[in-house]
Structure 1
Amino acid sequence: MNYYIESPNIPSVAPSLTVLLARLGTMGHYDGEATMQKQESRLYSIGEAYQALVVLFRSIRHVRKAKKKGLIDRLFMERIMLAVTQVNVCPLCSYAHTRMALEMGMASQDIKQLLSGELEQVPDDQLKAIMFSQHYAETKGRPTRKAWDEIVLEYGDCAAKGILGSARIIMVGNIWGVVLGLLQRRISDHSKDTRSSLGYELLLTFSILPFLPLAALHSIVASLVGTPLLRFSGE
């Protein structure tokens, strides 16, 4: 299998994260219960966050290629992003992507079901992709080889990599969206998640600044030396 050598475009790394940063100062406190059940958000370590950025950079080109060929479209990607957001329980991402999905014409009932983990309204030809994306999030980016092989078999190599890249985009958005939400809650209403700390929230929030160029360079080196695009659980 051939893997491309990416030349990442840093401003387009994570549209989801850009949306969150832009909206955080203007939206006020968002109650995630409006669109998703109240659950504990998934927390990622600093190392896991950095690795999520590296693999995202490696996938950007594949997303663009799949979109250019018409193998995935914005609505398909938005379903993936809503499904992954449901797994990671990111209220800020839920808010942002609900707005985006509605603007694209997705029915509110479809959005509600995706954010509840229900897939009845997902088009049949997208169902396996959505389920794989949920699995990718549940395993923190380390799916089983069998799950990946089934996606490649179902959609073909190019579309499968576009699906993977879409999941990676929102994973980065979720990782930083969750911590931004925790920090916002801590500041605005003095509530806090007992699993977290102010130090963790500040460190992860501001780590994006050095991580972006480092992860971009890391992704190029990984491609040059032939590092596989995807690592599997148990390997």
Structure 2
Amino acid sequence: MEAQEFKARIFTPASFYKHLKIFVASFSDFRKARKNGNVSKAFSEKIMLAVTEVNGCRYCNYVHTKNAIDAGTSEDEIKMLLNGELGELDNDESVALMFAQHYADTEGNPDKETYSAFVEHYGEQKAADILAMIKVIMVANIHGISLDAFVSRFKNQKMKGSKLGNELGIALGVLVLLPAAIIKVWFEKTFKNNTNENQNKLKTPII
């Protein structure tokens, strides 16, 4: 029986580690975003689906489609999101959704002009809340795609262009990469804080 193929974006352990560090560094922003109410549950799920549409994670697609429906998102809105059709959605939300797709499409390297317009539209705090959610779903997408690709190999359904080494490096490598990312971010923040403190001491006049 000929193996079937499905498509999704291809990621490497290196790119996964990059997004893990971004996620870890902004995890406190994500927790604040969940509590402050700037982004509703329905809006949050739409953001997750916008990113997932670009990356092609089947697991995340299923979970966040269900969550979006439970949060009151209409089936028509969900269909447009999954088809990448954002023009007919709520204008205020569509700015975030288009930015979410752009962020995913550029693998976390949005254009400065696009990012500036995004922040100007929502203000710094709400833009930070939305961005924190985008960063979370990027990590979930990458891990979900790799796990799906690895499991699907045993179902005679290979992911087009995917390599076993990358699948294992991400799907199982998270057990090593996540702690490594946490330690790396902690050291970077600690070093930065120490450097800032030393600079402030040097600037303080001696009386």
TM-score normalised by the chain length of structure 1: 0.75
Residue type of the alignment partner of 1:42: R
Contact 1:65 1:158 in 2 (8 A): no
The CA distance in 2 between the partners of 1:156 and 1:204, in whole Å, is 35
Secondary structure (helix, strand or coil) at the match of 1:192 reads strand
The CA distance in 1 between the partners of 2:82 and 2:160, in whole Å, is 24
How far has the Cα of 1:131 moved from its partner?
0.8
Q: Which residue of 2 aligns with 1:211?
A: 177
How far has the Cα of 1:133 moved from its partner?
0.7
1:115-153 deviation per Cα after TM superposition (whole angstroms, max 9, x unaligned) = 110114432211111111100000001111111111111
**Residue 69 of structure 1, aligned match among 36, 43, 57:** 36
The CA distance in 2 between the partners of 1:194 and 1:155, in whole Å, is 38
**Residue 105 of structure 1, aligned match among 72, 79, 88:** 72
Q: Which structure is larger by alpha-carbon Rg, 1 or 2?
A: 2
Residue type of the alignment partner of 1:46: P
Contact 1:186 1:192 in 2 (8 A): yes
Task: Confirm or deny that 1:80 pairs with 2:37.
Answer: no
The CA distance in 2 between the partners of 1:218 and 1:121, in whole Å, is 42
Q: Which segments of 5 or more consecutive residues in structure 2 lack a partner in the other structure?
A: 194-207
CA RMSD of aligned residues (A): 1.9
**C-alpha distance 222-160 of structure 1, shift in aligned 2 (>3 A):** farther
Q: Which residue of 2 aligns with 1:159?
A: 126
How far has the Cα of 1:109 moved from its partner?
1.4
**C-alpha distance 52-71 of structure 1, shift in aligned 2 (>3 A):** same
The CA distance in 2 between the partners of 1:175 and 1:226, in whole Å, is 29
Percent identity at matched positions?
36
Q: Which residue of 1 aligns with 2:197?
A: none
Q: Which segments of 5 or more consecutive residues in structure 1 lack a partner in the other structure?
A: 1-37, 228-235
Contact 1:72 1:159 in 2 (8 A): yes
**Residue 139 of structure 2, aligned match among 163, 166, 172:** 172
Q: Which has the higher helix share?
A: 2
Contact 2:53 2:82 in 1 (8 A): yes
Residue type of the alignment partner of 1:158: Q
Q: Which residue of 2 aligns with 1:147?
A: 114
Deviates more, 1:218-227 or 1:51-60: 218-227
TM-score normalised by the chain length of structure 2: 0.84
1:121-140 paired onto structure 2 within 5 Å: 121-140=88-107
Secondary structure (helix, strand or coil) at the match of 2:109 reads coil
How far has the Cα of 1:194 moved from its partner?
4.4
Task: Confirm or deny that 1:94 pairs with 2:46.
Answer: no
Contact 2:21 2:181 in 1 (8 A): yes
**C-alpha distance 97-155 of structure 1, shift in aligned 2 (>3 A):** same
Residue type of the alignment partner of 2:17: Y
Contact 2:150 2:167 in 1 (8 A): yes
Deviates more, 1:193-202 or 1:52-61: 193-202
Q: Which residue of 1 aligns with 2:22?
A: 55
The CA distance in 2 between the partners of 1:138 and 1:39, in whole Å, is 19
